[in-house]
Chain A
Amino acid sequence: MGARPLKKLSTLHFARVSIVNGNYMLFASVYDGDFMQYVEDFGTRIAKQIDTIFGACVGYPKAGAADVFQFKDFLAARQVPTNAFGGSYLDRSLLQIQASLRLTKCLGGFTRRVGAQHRRLVPKLDKFLHRHQDLLT
């Protein structure tokens, strides 16, 4: 789905909104971490957009997602548990997967440029690590 605001949530792997049975909305998402933290992310980062998506639902909090406690109860009361859940990287967070992918790419470039036999391999590698400190988290 093309909802860009969800990009602001660095813990959200996938989200999908569908209409079922004509007048029900189904929101399915896969996220990292604790439910409460996830709900707070909605309410503090992208409350407006969430209000647009959910606003027409019966029982949606008057103050919208910004009222994280009401919003949490709203979601919790309507949650459908997932009985079977599969995935390739179940123990990896989204940012971790993204960082690993980026690091792999950068490292590929580095090995092509520098190579194992390079005379100044160690200082070059240190420099590389310094530049990509953020990917090592």
Chain B
Amino acid sequence: MLELSQIQSNILREYRHGTAPAFVHFIFLRFGEAKEARDLIKALYPMVTSCARLDGGVPSVLNIGLAYPAVELFGFGGDARALNERDDEATGTIEAFKCGMRVRAAEILGDDDDSDPSNWEAPYRQGRLHAVLCLNAHTREKLDASLKLVGDAIASFPSVQRVHDEAAADFGGDLSGTEHFGFADGIAQPSVLDSGEPNYAGAGTPGKRRGWAPVKTGEFVLGHLDESGQVQFRSEFFKDGSFMVFRKLQQHVGRFRDYVNATAERSGTDSELVGAKMVGRWKSGAPLMLAPNKDDPALAADAKRNNDFRYKDDKEGKRCPIGAHIRRNNPREDPTGPGTIQTSKHRIIRRSTPYGTRLPEGASDDGQDRGVLFVVINADIARQFEFVQQNWVNSVLSSTVLTLPEDRDPLIGHQRNPDKAGKFLMPTAKRNKPPVIAWSLPRFVTTRGGEYFLLPSLDTLFHIGQGTRPPSDQEACESPAEQHDAPSPDGEVEATVPSDPDPAAGPGDGVVEPDPPAEPELVEPPAEPSGPADDDMSR
């Protein structure tokens, strides 16, 4: 079973369930002195939300992500480096995490031209970030209350630099749950084994004939069995953590609408249909595979049905084009695609929230900045997020019938210059009708910045705050953390050894409520032998 009290809430829980609007705020930090950085983590620790705590009901959510330089600063760089030697699959992800997104952007993520890192917003371009604080609440007031507490904590450590803030919010009302292009977002998510979340049809890995198996825990939570039958990131430092990809993606809404309308007009179809073909779902979220001819809001609203489809009966993409956004990004068992086994190793959990104001229906572009703060949760950045972005969004789907190098994801692909711009083929099931082809796709999305973060387990955060090491990990730590028992600067919040927060306590109570002191329970499961038995590797 998973220790849900150890796992940060944003790894396995969506906070924007239902129609309640969600307010999201990111604070990006750069640390100065290691001791102050530790003390900040210590001060924030009692507020950090685990899955268990969230399930018990919380007024607001705080999650903490650390970029690689912070891991070094805290003296855990050795844990990451050690992976290279003993955890071969982890090499890729650790490499990505170490370099950071900016270094990987041009070559792997396809961020060129307007998306080139040299054009990113200054905070993402100048120097490396150390940490991100992700705050989340259902109401503005609750978010503000939590922001104040977090802000005060940061301000009390002069060497901690609050580099940058990003804010985003669900549109609320009728537009709740949609993104700027007008489509319902966040519908299809992988179901995760043992996560305690329902396993609706379509969410997991398709069985041979019927049924869907939840995706193995290790694809999203470090230190657990994954889809390749391996357990990566076993060391106590990583265990129960995950990696978070943050990307600020600007959307060119006017351009998108104009293009869709022009394509529809030229080919004598309806622009709602053209848009739906590009996404693979209608605006309501109803999937084309189940509702090929017109939108079906009732279907879209039914979580048991709205994801329950496969692509096997649509080899030519007559219902859902092979190049549609959702078919590319999760080809399921698609007989013309990479196939079930391959796909199961490249799943991602998405948590996106729109930023900027909504462009009114029918209005032309107003020059305002708008888009999504796009967040991905995955255990292996290279194998999951980067692979999808590189191979399925921005490249040929090399093992499918869709193989034009120029043809990229029609919605978000980084289309090349006009002369090489890709097209998007929409085959039709109508007798004797030619397919609709959308030519010379422009870019509807520009990358504005981003970074990779580790979302450590609560235990690891606790130990970072204390300047100690997670118990069972006794390998040499190359920059021994100074043991300091100094009380936190204002003596306000006293971090305690993590204990299972009582899920029943707390709904509606103050924003920060340190866990009641518990008897130190550093008794972790017996120490893992350091690293997997490596007979496999010594040959």
Contact = CB atoms under 8 A, between A and B. Distances in A.
Q: Do A and B interact with each other, yes or no?
A: yes
Contacts of B322: 137
Interface in A36-54: 36-38, 40-41, 44-45
Contacts of A37: 338, 387, 391, 398-399
B155 interface: no
Residue with the highest number of chain B CB atoms closer than 10 Å, among A68, A130, A134, A137: A137
A137 B402 contact: yes
A107 interface: no
Interface in A1-29: 9-11
Given A70-B536, A96-B403, A137-B403, A38 B433 contact: no
Contacts of B118: none
Interface in B430-444: 430-435, 437
Size class of A's contact patch?
A: 35 or more
B88 A69 contact: yes
Size class of B's contact patch?
A: 35 or more
A33 B396 contact: yes
Q: Is the interface of B mostly helix, strand, loop or mixed?
A: loop
Nearest to B434: A129
A134 B401 CA distance: 8
Interface string B208-233: 00000000000000000000101000
Given A91-B405, A129-B435, A137 B425 contact: yes
Contacts of B401: 10, 95, 134, 137
B432 A130 contact: yes
A129 B433 CA distance: 8
B431 A40 contact: no
A130 B434 contact: yes
A75 to B, nearest CB: 13
B115 to A, nearest CB: 19
Q: Is the interface of A mostly helix, strand, loop or mixed?
A: helix
Contacts of A126: 432-434
A130 B403 contact: no
B316 A69 contact: no
A133 B398 contact: no
A73 B90 CA distance: 12
A62 interface: yes
A67 B398 CA distance: 20
Complex A-B, nearest 8 residue pairs according to Cβ-Cβ distance, in ascending order: A33-B398, A129-B434, A95-B403, A93-B403, A133-B427, A127-B432, A11-B398, A44-B341
Interface of B: 88-89, 228, 230, 316, 318, 322, 338-339, 341-342, 345, 383, 387, 390-391, 395-396, 398-405, 407, 425, 427-428, 430-435, 437, 536, 539
